Amino acid sequence: MQKSSQKEHLYKLLVIGDLGVGKTSIIKRYVHQNFSPHYRATIGVDFALKVLNWDAETVVRLQLWDIAGQERFGNMTRVYYREAMGAFIVFDVTRPATFEAVTKWKEDLDSKLILPNGKPVATVLLANKCDQGKDVLMNNGLKMEQFCKENGFVGWFETSAKENINIDEASRCLVKHIIASESDLMQSIEPDIIKPHLNSSNSVSCSACFKS
Ligand SMILES: Nc1nc2c(ncn2[C@@H]2O[C@H](COP(=O)(O)OP(=O)(O)OP(=O)(O)O)[C@@H](O)[C@H]2O)c(=O)[nH]1
Identity of the amino acid at 154: V
In angstroms, what is the span from residue 106 Cα to ligand 1's centroid?
20
Ligand 1 atom at minimal distance to the Cα of residue 68: 25
Ligand 1 pocket check for 29: Cβ under 6 Å: no
Angle separating helix axes 102-112 and 144-151, nearest 10 degrees:
20
Ligand 1 pocket check for 39: Cβ under 6 Å: yes
What are residue 26's phi and psi, to 5 degrees?
Answer: -65, -45
Reply yes or no on whether the pLDDT at 113 is more than 50: yes
In angstroms, what is the span from residue 164 Cα to ligand 1's centroid?
13
Element counts in the chain: helices (H) and strands (E)? 7, 6
Ligand 1 atom at minimal distance to the Cα of residue 35: 29
CA distance 100 to 136: 10
Share of the chain above pLDDT 90, in %: 72
CA distance 121 to 177: 9
Q: How confident is the model at residue 6 (pLDDT cuts 50, 70, 90)?
A: confident
Share of the chain above pLDDT 70, in %: 83
Reply yes or no on whether the pLDDT at 187 is more than 50: yes
137-182 pLDDT, tens digit each: 766 656 888 999 999 999 999 999 999 999 999 999 999 999 999 8
Please give the pLDDT value at position 211.
42
In angstroms, what is the span from residue 111 Cα to ligand 1's centroid?
27
Q: Which of 65-74, 131-140, 154-163 has the lowest mean pLDDT?
A: 131-140
Please give the pLDDT value at position 205.
37
Q: How confident is the model at residue 184 (pLDDT cuts 50, 70, 90)?
A: confident
Q: Which residue has the higher pLDDT, 1 or 96?
A: 96
Please give the pLDDT value at position 11.
97
Ligand 1 pocket check for 68: Cβ under 6 Å: yes
120 CB-near residues (< 8 Å, 6+ apart) = 109, 110, 113, 114, 152, 201, 202, 203, 204
Q: Whose CA is nearest to atom 12 of ligand 1?
A: 20
CA distance 180 to 183: 5
Question: Considering only CA atoms, which of 9, 20, 84, 79 is closest in space to residue 45?
Answer: 79
Ligand 1 pocket check for 24: Cβ under 6 Å: yes
pTM of the model: 0.88
